[in-house]
Amino acid sequence: MSKEIIKIDEITKTVSDLTKFDITCEALKKEVKKTKDITVDNLEDSVQLERVKRGRIDLRNIEIEIEKQGKSYRDIFTKVNKDIMAKQNELLAITNPELDRLKNIEEQAKAIATRKEREMILPYRREKLAEVDNITDDEDLLEMDDKQFGEYLMLKTEEKDEKERLEKEEADREEQKQIEIAEAKANAKKEAEEKAEIEKAEAKKLADAEIERLKQEAKDKIEAEKRLAKEKELKAKEEADKREADIKREADEKIEAEKRLAKEKDYKKFLSDNGYNEKEFKIIKEDNEVKLYKFVATYKIK
């Protein structure tokens, strides 16, 4: 076993001896055993509940003492940890500047070596980029490591491929355009010839149609004159029927008015014959009958 491990074991044992708690596990188990005998068979019994409360308070007081003692030990080691950290920082403050300076020298040397290596492969990089029609500044190429250059070369290769694809598409479109123009001219000539034939046929068709139209127009005129004469005849009959209906309706209305007047006169005669007046009589209408009731007298109860 090394001296360092022995020293740590000794410190650990010393710390363990210095941080012993006043109460032991065995004593604490005895205190807990006391409360285990407490039982409650009636949760409304104040005496039984008081025993439970007393046992809980006693155990909590023991816990509080344990917690206080544990905190006092932790406070000591918190201060020791702070002192150790402060001493560590004090010591590292002496070595860190020199360590940083030495690291800086190594990094500068590494940068120079890296640049020389990249300068050696610079012609290769220029050649690979020339294959994809690209020219990049040497300083920018020297800033790239192998991975970065590989990604850059892949990007420029994709750009060239895309440019060639677009140029091919444009050439194909132009070729197709010329083919379509030639086809359009041929189609235009053919359509002009077909159109001339169609127009000739249409002219003959229109002439024939005009002759037929004139014939039909004459026929339609005769038919129209016949319809007009018939319509006039029907209209005259409708007007005569309407006048006859109006005369009949007026006669019916006159008869109804006379009937209503006769009924009204008969009703008034009925009221007059019975000496009707609004103060002494009351009218009751039931089932097509009118009944008159006369008020006779009033007796006032005293």
pLDDT in tens, 266-287: 888 888 888 888 878 888 888 7
Residue 43 domain-assigned (yes or no): yes
Range of the domain at 45: 3-120
- 294 in a domain, yes or no? no
pLDDT band for position 31 (cuts 50, 70, 90) = confident
For residue 132, being part of any structural domain is answered with: no
pLDDT at 162 over 60: yes
- Write down the residue that tokens 């650990």 correspond to: 12
- Total domains in the chain come to 1
The 8-class DSSP code of residue 292 comes to E
Which of residues 299 and 123 earns the better pLDDT score? 123
What 8-state DSSP symbol labels residue 224? H
Q: Please, are residues 270 and 290 in contact by the beta-carbon 8 Å criterion?
A: yes
21 domain residue, yes or no: yes
On whether residue 269 sits in a domain, the answer given is no
Q: Are 21 and 69 in contact (CB under 8 A)?
A: yes
Better-predicted residue by pLDDT, 4 or 130: 130
In a domain, 295, yes or no: no
Tell me the one-letter amino acid at 230.
K
Could you tell me where the DSSP H helices lie in 38-145?
46-120, 122-130, 138-142
Is pLDDT at 26 greater than 70 in this prediction? Answer: yes
d(CA 70, CA 95): 38
In-domain check, residue 55:
yes
pTM above 0.75, yes or no: no
Mean pLDDT, residues 78-93 taken together: 89
* Averaged pLDDT of the chain: 86
Count of Cβ atoms closer than 10 Å to residue 149 Cβ: 19
Give residue 2's pLDDT band: very low, low, confident or very high (50, 70, 90): low
Q: What is the mean pLDDT of residues 127-131?
A: 89
Residue 20 lies in a domain: yes
SS3 38: coil
Other CB atoms within 10 Å distance of the CB of residue 125: 19
Q: How many angstroms separate the CA atoms of 229 and 212, rounded? A: 26
Report the pLDDT value the prediction gives residue 4, as an integer from 0 to 100.
56
User: What would the mean pLDDT of 35-51 be, rounded to a whole number?
Assistant: 85
